[in-house]
Amino acid sequence: MAIKFQYNKTSLGELNKQLKIRKNALPTIKSKESALRSEVKRAKDSKLAYQKELSELKAQYDYMVQLWGEFDCDLIRIVDVELSSQKIAGVRIPVLKDIIYSEKAYDLFSAPVWYAEGIRVLKRMSRLGIEFEVYNQREASLDYARRKTTQKVNLYEKVQIPGYEDAIRKIKRFMEDEENLSKSAQKIVKTRQAQAAAMEEPEND
């Protein structure tokens, strides 16, 4: 990124101000990036844990697959999924509060004996599936914020801070050269003035 500047004290002061802002902000941004990286990993680990538990639960009840054809699907339905949110490292993420089910009464004497177990399994599976999706969203939101923060760290560290430092060096070098030229010019002028004055002095007889 090309830093626009002029070779004067005003521009030098503004560049120093911008450089200081970025150097002061960098540790905070790096800390946020580190926190987000940890939270992304935590969300991913939780998501994979729910996925694994769901797969194990499905495998555990494989023997019931042939029985599901007899199951009355109206016995249990998800009415609502209650979500709240929380902020982690400045990022708002979803939190599962509750799952509201609607259960239809059935005749305990005429219905298959495994209906109660089937309802319990479906509740457990649906909760695991929803938790998986919630943590999937959490991971996506946190990782997006982490990538944006990493971009900002790289922008400050690799582009803007070196750019401002380089511009400041150029202005200082220019001002030093200008000052040296000015001093040299003044010295030449004084020397010439002294020489002229000496030539104008009347000769002593």
CA distance readout (Å), 95 to 3, 52, 131, 137, 164: 44, 20, 9, 10, 43
Classify domain 9-181 by CATH number: 1.10.287.3240
- Digit-by-digit pLDDT tens for the chain (205 residues) are 678 878 888 888 999 999 999 999 999 999 999 999 999 999 999 999 999 999 998 887 776 666 666 667 778 899 999 999 999 988 999 999 999 999 888 777 776 777 787 888 889 989 999 999 999 999 999 999 999 999 999 999 999 999 999 999 988 888 886 766 666 666 776 766 666 666 766 555 4
Task: Count CB atoms within 10 A of the CB of residue 101.
Answer: 15
What's the pTM value of the predicted model, to 2 decimals? 0.76
How deeply is 94 buried, as exposed, middle or buried, from its count of CB atoms within 10 A (0-12, 13-18, 19+)? middle
Using DSSP, how many helices (H) and how many strands (E) does the chain show?
3, 2
For the chain, give every domain's residue range: 9-181
